Amino acid sequence: MSAAQTDRRDRAASGVLWRTWAMLVKEFIQLRRDRVSLAMIVVLPVMQLLLFGYAINTTPHHMPAAVLLQEDTDLGRSVVKAMENTAFFDFIYLVKTEDEFDDLLQSGKVLFGVEIPRGFERGVRRGDQPAILVAADATDPVAASSALAALAQLAQTALAHDLNAGEPAVPPFEVRTHARYNPAASSRLNIVPGLVGAILTMTMLIFTALSVTREVERGTMESLLSMPITPVEIMLGKIIPYVMVGFVQASLIVGIGVTLFGVPILGNLFLLAGLSTLFIGANLAIGYTFSTIAQNQLQALQMSMMFFLPNILLSGFMFPFAGMPRWAQWVGECLPLTHYIRIVRAILLKGSTLHNMRYDAVGLVVLMLIAMTIAVSRFRRTLD
Amino acid sequence: MPEPVSSAAPPAAPAQAEIAIEVSGLTKSFGDRVVVRDLSMQVKRGSIYGFLGPNGSGKTTTIRMLCGLLTPDSGTGTCLGFDILTESDKIKRRVGYMTQRFSLYQDLSVRENLEFVARLYAVPHPRDAARDMIRRLGLVGREGQLAGELSGGWKQRLALGACTLPGPELLLLDEPTAGVDPKARRDFWTQIHDLAAEGLTVLVSTHYMDEAERCHEIAYIAYGNLLVHGTVEAVIAKSKLTTYTVTGPDLHHLAVALAGKPGVDMVAPFGTSLHISGRDLAALEASIAPYRNQRGLIWQHGAPSLEDVFIELMGRTPDNFQ
């Protein structure tokens, strides 16, 4: 070592630079080797931008609606047509009975139901100002409010063409709106049940995502694999404690929601508990799958984050599901949280039954089975 | 325990019950790197079999194949009479495997770790079994301590206890004494001999020559190839190595001068002495003749140590890491 070299190292200012440089070079090398972190750097902002830019819409249009036509007349159809022209409604169901009408709203298949009463045409022609009933699922007040506001203008203009009367002085009929399930349009009622799902997703994912990688990282997996225990036994043993944790969390959130925020419990709590088990199981299995893919705990956490984000944005938790484009809705249907949020909201706020929620319950079962199959098959029995 | 005899076992197998491990032609590669090549070995029941070799020589891989943690690419074998390819479940129930790295739960206490193992193996009365083991290990009073807080020697003792608790017939110990002080190592080996006396078969890998000399039989494996096996005496005899031990001043110069000379297969410094070994006695003596009478040097002709044999073997084996 030359004297000049030693000299340089002793000079404080350049020493700081050299040491910082050494650290920086090392960090870059490590970052370059960490594929998942690299992916995060690119995927996370791109995913967020695309989702916020293309998928999310806080004033949703083309929301699913049903019409109960109690008389099939020109004027009735004109009203429906005029509603469709506002671009807020898509009439995807035409029903004949009140029961069907209620089931569609109860199960969340439609957000709006329009009832054209018997004698509507005659009433209009006689100048009786008959009322059409618009029932809105107001569990999500944001989604419902702009559409309901648009209806206020409707009565004035909808039948102008049919009646050849120009702008009538008095509207020829009345629109009676009924915000079901959440008449005060309180957003808390919408958020609290959704929060049950969002929080369960986050904690369940993280708990299990770390569980297998932790064993691998600490070296305990090797001796575990050499012992007489099967992958399914390991998975069940790891998942079941967290099912209980999930129940404690869910009870806590619902309990606080009811006592502090006045969230009603209109449906059956046992039904909610049963369906919650499915949901918790699905998330645990997904977390477990990440755990078998990730090479260390950091990667497992990063994967959970990347899964959690679309869950929050596309499930209808934060933004109205009906407002999203078709492709985003399809993605949303593949997430357990989407189905669970519908279920919690429906059971707590609408008093829905299993019969109403059968579609989402089946969705949860299917997603849970898929996730568990992947988790078990991904789990390696050997170290190969 | 009566030994169920596999119907697939060849009828000519000599005294099945006397052999704990019998494998032939085991090969395993990771990517295009062959880690174990065509390995065959036989371990008698109740014996302590030492597995020696440099780092990365395939010892751990072989042990993992024996207990079903890795699937061999080719080769066949039985472990305790069960096929290592198809009956790893049965093998796992009868084998205690102690990994190279401490692999009990650091955040569980001594007692909790032992109870976990006992329950996994469906040992009746796991609490009692754990308590007995704690007493046997001399850990009474420390059963509530977290395993991660134990010292290196105690950790290793606990790990051995966890391996033996379910009453295995075979112990696979992968470098069990790495990083453990000499006293603890000595105690550990006393325990191993006690276990073998009770009828347990022990396969143990190690780097330490003094440990190798405590085994009934040893095998030397380097870069995936099993080079030599047998008792310590047999291995030394088979090497046909002659060793001269030199003491005196400036041994470094002598070592440089002799290295690579005809007949000199190995020159290795041992503290204040130098070991010079070769298989061709005549050539070796011719090469050292000019230095025999150098002033201050004391030459001694003797049998090679096990270490000489291994270092020479290692020097002869091509490294497959290039």
Q: Do A225 and B101 touch (CB under 8 A)?
A: no
State which residues form the domain around B71: 16-107+146-231
Q: Which of A133, A162, A180 is the last residue of a domain?
A: A180
What's the average model confidence in pLDDT over A331-357? 90
* Same domain, yes or no: A146 and A268: no
Is A36 contained in some domain?
no
Cα–Cα distance for residue pair A204/A371, rounded to 1 Å = 13
Q: Any chain B CB within 8 A of the CB of A53?
A: no
User: Are the Cβ atoms of A222 and B89 closer than 8 angstroms?
Assistant: no
Higher pLDDT, B139 or B294: B139
pLDDT value at residue B7: 40
Q: Which of A366, A212, A240, A236 is nearest to A303 (CA)?
A: A212
Which residues are CB-neighbours of A120 under 8 A, at least 6 positions away?
A: A70, A71, A73, A75, A76, A130, A132, A173
A-chain CB neighbours of B103 within 8 Å are 218-220, 222-223
Q: How confident is the model at residue A37 (pLDDT cuts 50, 70, 90)?
A: confident
Banded pLDDT at B320 (limits 50, 70, 90): very low
- Is B135 a member of any domain? no
Residue A144 shares a structural domain with residue A277: no
What letter does residue A19 receive in the DSSP assignment?
H
**Interface touch A218/B106, C-beta < 8 Å:** yes
Looking at the structure of chain A, the number of domains it has is 2
Mutate to test the interface with A, among B86, B102, B103 (most CBs of A within 10 A): B103
* Predicted local confidence at residue B201, as pLDDT: 95
Q: Which of B71, B104, B117 sits opposite A382 (nearest CB)?
A: B71
Report if residue B78 sits inside a domain: yes
On whether any CB of chain A is under 8 Å from the CB of B270, the answer is: no
Q: What confidence tens digit (pLDDT) does each residue in B189-228 have?
A: 999 999 999 999 999 998 888 888 899 999 988 888 888 8
Q: In this predicted structure, what is the pLDDT of residue B82?
A: 92
Chain A: give the shortest CA distance to residue B155, in Å.
14
Question: So what's the pLDDT on residue A337?
Answer: 95
DSSP 3-state assignment of A295? coil
Is A382's CB within 8 Å of B68's CB? yes
Reported as a pLDDT band with limits 50, 70 and 90, residue A2 is low
Residues in chain A: 384
**Does residue A233 sit at the B interface (CB-CB below 8 Å)?**
no
3-state secondary structure of A12: helix
* Residue A277 covered by a domain: yes
Beta-carbon separation of A383 and B64 below 8 A: yes
Q: What is the pLDDT of residue A40?
A: 85
Asked whether residue B4 carries a pLDDT value surpassing 50, the answer given is no
pLDDT of residue A91: 86
Number of domains composing chain B: 2
Interface check B95 vs A, CB under 8 A: yes
pLDDT of residue B107: 92
- Other C-beta atoms closer than 10 Å to the C-beta of A148 total 19
Percentage with pLDDT > 70 across chain A? 93
Choose among A220, A229, A383: nearest Cβ to B70: A383
Mean pLDDT of A301-321: 89
| pLDDT over 90, % of chain A | 23
pLDDT tens sequence across B85-144: 999 889 999 999 999 888 899 999 999 999 999 999 999 999 999 999 999 988 898 989
B121 to chain A: which residues are within 8 Å by CB? 227-228
Q: Are B174 and B90 contained in the same domain?
A: yes
Confirm whether A225 is domain-assigned.
yes
Strand B95-98 relative to strand B170-174, pairing: parallel
Question: How far is A275 from chain B, CA to nearest CA, in Å?
Answer: 32
Residue-number span of the structural domain to which A340 is assigned? 187-378
pLDDT of residue B262: 87
Please check the confidence at residue B6 and state whether its pLDDT lies above 50.
no
**Is residue A194 domain-shared with residue A327, that is, in the same domain?**
yes
Q: What share of chain A is helix, strand, coil (3-state, %, to 5)?
A: 65, 10, 25
pLDDT at B37 over 60: yes
Nearest to A382 among B69, B95, B97 (CB): B69
Residue A228: list chain B partners with CB under 8 A.
89, 92-93, 120-121
Could you give the CA distance from residue A116 to residue A81 in angstroms, rounded to a whole number? Answer: 12
Task: Please answer yes or no on whether B103 and A222 come within 8 Å at the CB atom.
Answer: yes
Determine the pLDDT at residue A179: 81
Among residues A83, A114, A90, A43, the alpha carbon closest in space to that of A329 is found at A90
Residues of chain A positioned with their CB less than 8 A from the CB of B93: 228
Mean pLDDT of A189-196: 88
CA distance A206 to chain B (A): 19
Nearest chain A alpha carbon to B93:
A228
Q: For tokens 């004949």, what's the residue?
A: A96
Whether B296 has a pLDDT exceeding 60, the answer reads yes
Query: What mean pLDDT is reported for chain A?
Result: 85
Tell me: do B226 and B251 sit in the same domain. no
Q: Which of A11-15, A141-145, A164-168, A326-330 has the lowest mean pLDDT?
A: A164-168
Compare A152 and A110 and report the one with higher pLDDT: A110
Residue A248 and residue A137 in one domain: no
Q: Looking up tokens 């049940």, which residue turns up? A: A193
Q: In this predicted model, what pLDDT tens digit does every residue of B149-204 receive, in sequence order? A: 998 889 999 999 999 999 999 999 999 988 888 888 899 999 999 999 999 999 99
Nearby residues of B83 by Cβ (< 8 Å), 6 or more positions away: B6, B8, B76, B77
Structure tokens at B318: 């091509």
Q: Residue A73's beta-bridge partner residues?
A: none
Q: Is B165 on the interface with A (CB under 8 A)?
A: no
In a domain, B137, yes or no: no
Q: Residue B23 in contact with residue B76, Cβ under 8 Å?
A: yes
Size of interface A-B (CB pairs under 8 A): 46
Q: Are residues A242 and A316 in the same domain?
A: yes
What is the model's pLDDT at position B135?
Answer: 93
CB B147 within 8 A of CB B105: yes
- Minimum distance, in Å, between the CA of residue A376 and any CA atom of chain B: 17
Kindly tell me the number of DSSP H helices and DSSP E strands found in chain A: 16, 5
Task: Note the pLDDT of residue B297.
Answer: 86
B104 to chain A, any CB pair closer than 8 A? The answer is yes
Instruction: Map residue A41 onto helix, strand or coil.
Output: helix
- The answer to whether residue B216 is domain-embedded is yes
State how far the alpha carbon of B53 is from the alpha carbons of A215, B22, B28, B217, in Å.
28, 20, 17, 14
B247-276: average pLDDT = 86
Which residue is associated with the tokens 């090469």? B287
Which one, of A261, A279, A296, lies nearest residue A341 by Cα? Answer: A279
Amino acid B17: pLDDT: 64
CB distance from B105 to chain A under 8 Å?
yes
| Boundary-marking domain end, from A146, A180, A214 | A180
Flag if B120 and A228 touch (Cβ within 8 Å).
Answer: yes
When pLDDT is cut at 50, 70 and 90, the band that residue A11 belongs to is low
Nearest to B89 among A220, A228, A383 (CB): A228
Regarding whether B215 and B152 lie in a shared domain, the answer is yes
Does B13 score more than 50 pLDDT?
no
Does pLDDT of A43 surpass 90?
no
Residue of chain B whose Cα is closest to the Cα of A229: B120
The answer to whether residues B181 and B289 belong to one domain is no
CATH for B46: 3.40.50.300
Answer yes or no: is pLDDT of A165 > 70. Answer: no
Same domain, B73 and B179: yes
Check whether residue A205 and residue A131 sit in a common domain: no
The closest CB to that of A226, out of B67, B71, B106, belongs to B67
Q: Test B106 with A227 for CB contact under 8 angstroms.
A: no
Residue B116 touches partner A, C-beta closer than 8 Å: no
Query: What's the 3-state SS for chain B?
Result: CCCCCCCCCCCCCCCHHHEEEEEEEEEEEECCEEEEEEEEEEEECCCEEEEECCCCCCHHHHHHHHCCCCCCCEEEEEECCEECCCCHHHHHHHEEEECCCCCCCCCCEHHHHHHHHHHHCCCCCHHHHHHHHHHHHCCCCCCCCEHHHCCHHHHHHHHHHHHHCCCCCEEEEECCCCCCCHHHHHHHHHHHHHHHHCCCEEEEEECCHHHHCCCCEEEEEECCEEEEEECHHHHHHHHCCEEEEEECCCHHHHHHHHCCCCCCCEEEEECCEEEEEECCHHHHHHHHHHHHCCCCCEEEEECCCHHHHHHHHHHHCCCCCC
What is the pLDDT at residue B96? 93
Sheet holding B266-270, edge to edge: B266-270, B273-278, B242-247, B298-302
The per-residue b/e assignment along A3-18, b for 16 or more CB within 10 angstroms, e otherwise, is: eeeeeeeeeeeeeeee
Work out the number of other CB atoms within 10 angstroms of the CB of residue B151: 11
Looking at beta carbons, which residues of chain B come within 8 Å of A220? 103-105
A380 touches chain B (CB under 8 A): no
Closest CB from B64, B92, B101 relative to A227: B92
